[in-house]
Every structure is written in structure tokens, then in C-alpha cells.
Amino acid sequence: MLLAACTPGRDTGTPGSATAGTPAPASGSPSAGTGSSPVPAGQLTVAGRINAGLQVPWSTVFLPDGTAIISERDSALLRTVSAGSGTAGSGGDSPAGTLGKVPDVVPGGEGGLLGLALSPDFAADRYLYAYFTAAGDNRIARLRVDEGNGQLQLGAPEIIFTGIPKASTHNGGRIRFGPDGYLYVGTGDSQRREQPQDPKALGGKILRITPEGRPAPGNPFGDNPVYSLGHRNVQGLAWDSAGRLWASEFGPDVDDELNLIVPGGNYGWPEVTGAPHRAGFRDAKVVWPSTADSSPSGLEIVGDTAYLGALRGQRVWAVPLRGEFAADPVGYFTGMYGRIRDVSLAPDGRLWVLSNGQNPDFVLVLELPG
């Protein structure tokens, strides 16, 4: 059911507490880059809620006609929500349809069917890309999404990339096509602390590959898919208005991060976390000292504001970006909707936010500031 709009919850910096009113900067404020005002113009408001009956959703992409495809981590199902479900006044529950099941997914712990990405040439090639945990590794497949008899049909997977290390935790999983047409892949260290600092290993990296799964031309380490290293568990990827890549990342028990990614950059894990100004490592642009306030997952950038879903923090963070710097984050809806897994920009200009672990899970539709 699509519920009526409401005002945002004021962030007190304490998960679970929420009161109506104007959002305020988080307590334990992450490091800011400029001294400019931290509050984006206007406020996020709730336009509606789609009770789609989802089970542990992880990622959302939108087809050209506005249909949403959502991955479910544990079931390995690709669920669909029709265009218009997030329109105010549509009313009623909107149970998700099922496009199909991705074969050979082996869920367990944080592993399963994770990130999705739509081919930039989808109108011609019809490819949907999926990152998933298999029996021996994490891998990426592409599957055709065709239309016949008025229904979407899922083709057989073509595996394009294998060998990303897996574990019960720290599997990474976010994938996204960049403005350059190449596929960027966020991986985790899979509890193998020697991997993030090794440019020949795939764990604890952001990878950059062609749509066919080869290392992309111009990568910083030659014929190697690694684009940046020293990551613990990359969870979100997005580009700002100038084409700069940003990534959200889980810290250990401290120092969740929002990073500005540069080719060949070393972000420090496991040697350092946060922004210690250590020679040879890139400082995070935003640091949440307490992971209870964030555990940032999905990331979307609209204009020059980054929006992050927080799992432990149970809120949506808005971070104004100022060129290569970031101002103080502002939290919305703290504790009101539980854990937030993903934030995605819909074709109608609203944000779709996936809840996580609500059994069943839902889509929260947010109106961006005017």
C-alpha cells in the first residue's frame, strides 16, 4: 500500500529515536571537507510506501519503461514492481512479481544474490548484470531480459567474471556502470586481511571491467581489473555531477566511510581506517566514528548530494558534496523504518529505498528537495 506523505524524522544521532521536525547534523559528526552549510536545500519527505512483500532485498535497477527489478539475497529471486507503484494516490498493496531465479546462487551469511546493474546499451542488448555468491566464489553474470506476450522473460546466465573471494561476511557485491561505459565492482576482503593491499588479489577492491568481463583499458595496474585497493567491504558506488566516483564502505567496529575514488588509490585497509592522514593512503571524505550511526550500504548521488542507506544506523544519510570534499552528513527518519539496504533514483525523480530484515520488506519512496 502506498501511504500518505509525512515529515522527516529529526536525527538525534541515536538509532531508534525519531521525532518530527527539521533534520539536524549527526552527533559524533563525521569529518567535513569545507566549512560550508551542511544542510542541503529543502528536506527529504516520504511520498509513499510500496508494500511489495520482499524478502531481504539488496539492489534495485529500473527498466526503460519504469519497471523496477529488485534482487533478493537469500531466495536468489529477481522481483519486479511495475511502473507507477510509487505514484502518490495509486493505493493498495503492490505485491512484487517474479522475473525469475538466478541459478547457482549459494546464499549464506552476507552472501547470495547481491548487486544488479543494467547495461548502458540495454535497448539493444537487453542485458541485466548480477553479482552473486556461488559455491566457491563471488562472480558476475549477465542475463537477457526479453519481452514476449506482454511479459518479461529471463534468459540463461552468461558468466563474465569469476574468482572474487567469498566468505560468510565481507562479500562486497555492488556493481554499477560508470559514465565511461565500463562496469565497476565493489568487493570485500572476505575476511582475508592480506588481500586488500595486494594489487594482484581481487578481495578488498573496486574493479573496473568491460561489459564482457575483461580488465578495462586504462586501468592503473595494466592488464588487471583492479581500479582501487585497500578496501574492507565496499557497499555503494555512484558518480557526482562532475563524473567523480564515490564509494560507501563498512568499517570494522569504528570508522564507516564515504570515499572519493581515484584510479590506483589505496584506501588503507587493514593498515588504517577513516582519515588518519597517513602517507601513502587516501583519507575518507566522511567518517562515521561509530558504526552504530551508519553501516552505510547503497549509495545514490543526485546532483551534488549523496544519499546513503544505513543498516545499523537505520536512517538515510544526505551528504552535500563540495567538489572533492564533503560537508557534514544530515540524517533522516532515524529508527522509523528499520535497516536500510539500498537507495536508488527512479525514472520519475524520486528515491526508492529498500528496507532490510523487516519480514516482509518494503520500498520507501522519497521526494527529493525541490
- The model's pLDDT over 97-132, given as tens digits with 9 standing for 90+, comes to 999 999 999 999 999 999 999 999 999 999 999 999
Average per-residue pLDDT in the chain?
A: 90
The yes-or-no verdict on residue 34 having pLDDT over 60 is no
Q: For the segment 172-209, what is each residue's pLDDT rounded down to a tens digit?
A: 999 999 999 999 999 999 999 999 999 999 999 999 99
Rounded average pLDDT over 318-329: 98
Which residues, 6+ apart, have CB-to-CB distance to 35 below 8 Å? none
Q: How far apart are CA 205 and CA 199, in angstroms?
A: 9
Widest Cα–Cα separation across the chain: 60
User: Phi then psi for 237, rounded to 5 degrees?
Assistant: -140, 135
Asked if residue 188 lies in contact with residue 230, where contact means CB atoms within 8 angstroms, the answer is no
Radius of gyration of the chain (CA): 19
Asked if residue 102 lies in contact with residue 115, where contact means CB atoms within 8 angstroms, the answer is no
The yes-or-no verdict on residue 228 having pLDDT over 80 is yes
pTM comes to 0.91
Asked if residue 38 lies in contact with residue 32, where contact means CB atoms within 8 angstroms, the answer is yes
> In terms of DSSP bridges, do strands 77-81 and 68-72 run parallel, antiparallel, or are they unpaired?
antiparallel
Q: How far apart are CA 197 and CA 235, in angstroms?
A: 18
Q: According to the model, what pLDDT value does residue 87 have?
A: 54
The yes-or-no verdict on residue 150 having pLDDT over 90 is no
Q: According to the model, what pLDDT value does residue 234 have?
A: 98
Q: According to the model, what pLDDT value does residue 225 have?
A: 99
Asked if residue 183 lies in contact with residue 177, where contact means CB atoms within 8 angstroms, the answer is yes
Q: According to the model, what pLDDT value does residue 307 have?
A: 98
Rounded average pLDDT over 246-273: 98
Measured in whole angstroms, how far is the alpha carbon of residue 269 from the centre of its chain?
Answer: 20
Least confident of 39-48, 109-118, 150-159, 256-265: 39-48
The yes-or-no verdict on residue 36 having pLDDT over 90 is no
% of the chain at pLDDT higher than 70: 87
Q: According to the model, what pLDDT value does residue 84 have?
A: 77
Q: How many residues does the chain have?
A: 370
